[in-house]
Amino acid sequence: MISPGQIRSLFLDMNEALIISDKSGLIVSVNHRAERLLGIREDDLIKRHINALMTPREKEIRTREISRDPKTGLIMWLLQRIGRHDEEEKQSSDTFLAAMTHEIRTPMNGIIGMTDLALEEEMSPVLREYLDVIHLSADSLMRVINDILDYSKIETSNLPLEQIPIAFPDFLSSVAKLFSAQAKAKGLDFRYQEEKNIPEVIMGDPVRIRQIIQNLLNNALKFTSEGYIEFSSYLDHKESRIYFSISDTGIGIPAEKQHLLFRSFTQIDASTTRKYGGTGLGLAICAYLTSKMNGQIEVKSSEGKGSTFRFFLPLILPEKKREEVTASSESLSPHSSTEGPLVLLLEDNRVNQFLAVKTMEKAGYRVVTAENGYEGIERYKEHKPDIILMDIQMPGKDGYETARDIRMLEEEMEKSTPIIALTALALSSDREKITEAGMNDFLGKPVSPIDLKEMLLKYCRQ
């Protein structure tokens, strides 16, 4: 007769990497081989959700359910390292996906941007209603495209993170205000609770933190038809962590299906997909981002009673004073078009050029444009701009060559103008080329107004 201790010992010493989770996907046991493969001790793995744990590692490690106990609901998972051939095939597929998604996203960016501009003009109520419908439809499609593009970046290990100062209470309040209006329009009570002792300024990536919160709040709005949505945050001094919580009174998630959460391209069931839509990527992206920022995400839910998603991020405080913090703001100080910093924009796409110019002029910047590298160098000599936005793919002289020529000119002038690359696919090889050409940073195309303003604030103080 084999004792439970002998079975446990056999499990721990097996040559295969194994994890056992409960029916909701929370890890209850890990063997030694899995510990070594993940580089994490069992004590730190227990009670973590397996899909939230594995999402950031999908490029290197594959998980497969190999056994399920019908009585207890316990699931055994096999972990396998992906071979070189699998990795190369996956890299090629993801690069193609990212390229094609960009080609779709570029005209969508033009549609949304031009609709925004049109809505600022005087018009009849009927025409405004039509434009509002166009804007909502385009915005919905753009969210789907953005999820796919972010996923392709994750799969190619190309989702960079920043560490910049964030004016945190203002940052959280701005997110809450956006969803408060949406919840009210749906007849829901939106509750926002912010603990008073949260620091005025923290370090982090405002774009990615906002993305996690917005993904979770979007889900809460989507799956809640009555009741409330609650968004709260608090500081754990002992652990030096900031916790975020999003609760709702929506449809909830059955316990036996919670193990599917945080898995890419997965919805809980087909009827949910038909009724609510979505790519099934939002939670996978949230899991990846929290893990990459050294945090963790978890869920508690009951079918028909709502859900609570909670995640934490380590608290990192800046050395600078708050008066010096500008990078987290989404709006700039007002300046007239004759007083603001001068931006040289090199962009050959007329729609992208028009939208970028309008965005920067409204934010108080002066802008001069060029459609190719040769013209850009002449504009640089003529205007001596404060910052340069440089499209990489331009006819005649590309962005790399143009940037190198400008740096050669600046050696004689003993100055260095910030140059920001505008690129569709900033893969590791592209980033190396950007640095070698003397550029300071890059923005992924198509460029969103928020990302553009934050980049300008980072390199060009008003």
Q: Could you give the residue range(s) of every CATH 3.40.50.2300 domain in the chain? A: 330-459
Q: Does domain 330-459 have CATH number 3.40.50.2300?
A: yes
Write down the pLDDT at residue 274. Answer: 45
Report the amino acid identity of residue 176. Answer: A
Which of 41, 57, 63 has its CA nearest to residue 259? 63
- The CA-atom distances, in angstroms, between 262 and each of 58, 244, 265, 346 are 12, 17, 9, 40
Distance CA(357)–CA(345), nearest Å, equals: 8
Range(s) within the chain of domains with CATH label 3.30.565.10: 164-322
CA atoms within 13 A on the CB side of 143: 16
Residue 428 and residue 400: Cα distance in Å, rounded? 15
- In the chain, CATH 1.10.287.130 covers 85-155
CATH code, residues 85-155 = 1.10.287.130
Q: What is the pLDDT of residue 327?
A: 41
User: Among candidates 300, 275, 126, 143, which has minimal Cα distance to 211?
Assistant: 143
Contact yes or no for 353/389 (Cβ under 8 A): no
What are φ and ψ of residue 450, in 5° steps? -65, -45
For the chain, residues classed under CATH 3.30.450.20 are 4-81
Residues 400 and 373: their CA atoms lie apart, in Å, by 9
- Residue 82 — left, alpha, or beta (φ > 0 → left; ψ -120 to 50 → alpha)? beta
- Look up residue 196 and give its two tokens: 């008073």
Per the DSSP assignment, residues forming a β-bridge with 49 are 26
CATH architecture group of domain 164-322: 2-Layer Sandwich (3.30)
d(CA 370, CA 384): 14
Place of tokens 């600022």: 120
∠ CA 270-276-278, nearest 5°, is: 85
d(CA 187, CA 25): 33
Distances (CA, A) of 131 to 49, 134, 166: 43, 5, 34
Residue 181: the pLDDT is 80
pLDDT at 264 (0 to 100) = 59
pLDDT of the residue at 450: 75
Closest CA relative to residue 17, chosen from 58, 66, 59, 51:
66
Give, for all 462 residues of the chain, the pLDDT tens digit: 778 888 888 899 999 999 999 888 889 999 999 999 988 888 888 888 888 788 777 768 888 889 888 888 899 999 988 765 555 555 565 566 656 666 676 777 778 888 888 888 889 989 988 888 887 777 767 777 777 666 666 655 566 778 888 888 888 888 888 788 888 888 999 999 877 778 888 999 888 898 899 889 988 998 999 999 999 998 888 888 999 999 999 999 887 777 777 775 555 554 444 455 555 677 888 888 888 888 888 888 888 889 999 999 998 888 654 444 444 433 333 333 456 899 999 988 787 888 889 889 888 899 999 989 999 999 999 999 999 999 888 888 889 999 999 999 998 877 889 999 987 655 555 677 888 999 998 887 767 777 788 889 888 754
- With respect to CATH, is domain 4-81 assigned 3.30.450.20? yes
Here the tokens at position 456 are 């300008």
- Reading the block at residue 279, the tokens are 């790519």
User: How crowded is residue 429: how many other Cβ atoms within 10 Å of its Cβ?
Assistant: 9
| Residues 151-154: contacts with CB under 8 Å, at least 24 apart | 151/264, 151/281, 151/284, 151/285, 152/94, 152/95, 152/97, 152/98, 152/101, 153/98, 154/56, 154/58, 154/59, 154/285, 154/288
Helix axes 428-436, 399-413, angle to 10 degrees: 30
Q: Using CA atoms, how far apart are residues 242 and 315, in angstroms rounded to an integer?
A: 6
